[in-house]
Amino acid sequence: MTLAEQVVLGDIRAAARLMRDIDDNRPNAVQELKQLYPHTGKAYIIGITGPPGAGKSTLVDQLTASFRKRGKKVGVVAIDPTSPFTGGAILGDRIRMNRHSCDEGVFIRSLATRGALGGLSRSTTDVGMVMDALGMDIVIIETVGVGQDEVDIVKAAHTTCVVMVPGLGDDIQAIKAGILEIGDVFVVNKADRDGADRTARELSTMLEMRNAPEGGWNPQVMKAEAQRGVGIEELTVEILAHRDFLFNSGTINDFLKERNRRHFMDILRDSLFRSAIDFMAADNTLDRVVDGMWSHSVDPYSAAEVVLSKMLTKKMKA
């Protein structure tokens, strides 16, 4: 059987191998994903994002335990910083989630950013699809520590939780437009610290000042102490409330259409780029363009148009 067929039957080892192939960008992974795609679309995806040190991994650990108590199978995609030596992920997330290592209802996969921007890895969506086809009810995607505009998680997750902590030293941080606009649930973690109530109030005030569409979801600001498990049940209930809103209001249809559009466009862009690189490698076009740019005898805009035109002509003749 193919890896895809084994994954659909619930083979965790096959899923792990396929995720490795996807992350390593191996050619066979695309063929497996083609077979796997019809079996996806059932898992509910939760995004956890926020600045470094906000306690995202500990929060994910607690949410995983909360959903397991409800009988849900949980997959975790943890995006970690890239190792400068090996290019792999620094597995801090797995250390914090170690208590789930023997639970057959939990699958944790760490991915390195490998230079990808937006807080996610290039292979995040496809790895999430594998967990979906494997039978996970909930897939939690934890982004790498992000700043003000790394908001790609909103493209992948049904519910996006923005995690913040008091005492970051920047009171104006709470009003950053990118952060406010992506969150479906806001969590002030480490709520036992001084300033937690103030941070929660500021967030609530700024959310009230937004021009939210009539009949839309009204994000709530939750407080939690993930280290001690405080506020986790309330957060879980709020996430499930947002899920119910998406399906009951019909908003889920627009979300899925937009997500599918973005997913396709990402695949198309990557495929075209790889095709262009392979095409130029055949006759050292790239080196000639770079040399021409050095002497200013070639401009990059015209060169790109020429390469695209030649690629299309070759495809049509083929």
pLDDT at 114: 63
pTM beyond 0.85, yes or no: yes
DSSP 3-state of 80: strand
What backbone torsions phi and psi does residue 260 show, to the nearest 5 degrees? Answer: -65, -40
pLDDT at 157: 93
pLDDT at 173: 52
Both structure tokens of 59: 């929060």
Q: How far apart are CA 246 and CA 228, in angstroms?
A: 30
Look at the domain 40-249 and name its fold: Rossmann fold (3.40.50)
Q: Domain spans of the chain?
A: 1-39, 40-249, 262-317
What burial class does residue 80 get, using C-beta atoms within 10 Å of its C-beta: 0-12 exposed, 13-18 middle, 19+ buried? buried
pLDDT at 84: 54
pLDDT at 64: 95
Strand (E) or helix (H) holding 110: strand 106-112
DSSP 3-state of 53: coil
pLDDT at 1: 87
One digit per residue, pLDDT tens: the chain, 318 residues? 899 999 999 999 999 999 999 988 888 999 999 999 999 999 999 999 888 888 898 999 999 999 999 999 999 998 876 655 555 555 555 556 677 777 889 999 988 776 554 446 678 889 999 999 999 999 999 987 665 555 678 888 999 999 988 876 554 454 555 667 788 999 999 999 988 998 888 888 888 887 767 778 899 999 999 999 999 999 999 999 999 999 999 999 999 999 999 889 988 988 899 899 999 998 899 999 999 999 999 999 999 999 999 998 887 776
DSSP 3-state of 203: helix
Q: State the Cα angle at 150 between 144 and 154, rounded to 5°.
A: 90
- Residues 6+ positions from 288 with CB-CB distance below 8 Å: 298
Beta strands in 118-198 (DSSP E): 138-142, 159-164, 185-188
What Rg do the C-alpha atoms of the chain give, in angstroms? 22
Provide the H-helix boundaries in 158-250: 177-182, 196-208, 232-249
